[in-house]
A and B are shown apart, each in its own frame.
Chain A
Amino acid sequence: MFLEQAINGITLGGIYAIVALGYTLVFGVLGIINMAHGEIFMFGAFVGMLLVSKAGVPLPVAFLGAIAAAASMGLLLDRFALRPLRKRPGASHLASLISTIGVSILLENAAHRIFGAGNHLFETPFSDIRFQAGSVTVYLVQAAILGISLLMMAGLSLWLSRTRAGKALRATAENLETAGLLGVDTNRMITATVVIASAMGGVAGVLVGMAFNFINNRIGLSMGLKGLAIIIFGGMGSVYGAMAGGLILGLSETFVVAYGPAGYRDAIAFVTIIVVLLVRPQGLFGQAVSDGKP
Chain B
Amino acid sequence: MKALLSLERVGKSFGGLAALADISFSVEAGEILGIIGPNGAGKTTLFNVITAFFPPTEGTVIFDGRPIGGLPPHAIAHRGISRTFQNIRLFSAMSVEENVMVGRHCRSRAGVWRGVLRTRGQRGEEREIRERTRELLELVGLEGADPGREARALPYGHQRRLEIARSLAAEPRLLLLDEPAAGMNEAETREVFELIRRVRLLGVTILLIEHDMSLVMKACDRLVVFNFGRMIAEGPPAAIRKDPRVIEAYLGPEEGSEDA
Contact = CB atoms under 8 A, between A and B. Distances in A.
B48 interface: yes
B156 interface: no
A294 B48 contact: yes
A290 B15 CA distance: 10
Contacts of A290: 14-15
Nearest to B53: A294
Interface in A19-55: none
A294 B76 CA distance: 15
A35 to B, nearest CB: 26
A175 to B, nearest CB: 15
Count class of interface residues, chain B:
under 10
A294 to B, nearest CB: 4
Contacts of A294: 48, 53-54
A231 to B, nearest CB: 24
Interface in B123-167: none
Interface in A212-258: none
B192 to A, nearest CB: 23
Interface string B1-43: 0000000000000110000000000000000000000000000
Interface string B42-53: 000000100001
Interface in A249-294: 290, 294
A126 B48 CA distance: 64
A290 B14 CA distance: 9
Interface in B45-69: 48, 53-54
A294 B54 CA distance: 8
A104 to B, nearest CB: 29
A68 B226 CA distance: 58
A294 B15 CA distance: 16
Nearest to A294: B53
B207 to A, nearest CB: 17
A290 B53 CA distance: 11
Nearest to B86: A293
Contacts of B54: 294
A95 to B, nearest CB: 15
B47 to A, nearest CB: 9
A92 to B, nearest CB: 12
Contacts of B48: 294
A74 B54 CA distance: 40
A294 B53 CA distance: 6
Contacts of B14: 290
B13 to A, nearest CB: 12
B27 to A, nearest CB: 21
A184 B227 CA distance: 34
A294 B48 CA distance: 8
A286 to B, nearest CB: 15
Nearest to A290: B14
Q: Identify the 5 closest CB pairs spanning chains A and B, nearest first.
A: A294-B53, A294-B48, A290-B14, A294-B54, A290-B15
5 contacts: A290-B14, A290-B15, A294-B48, A294-B53, A294-B54
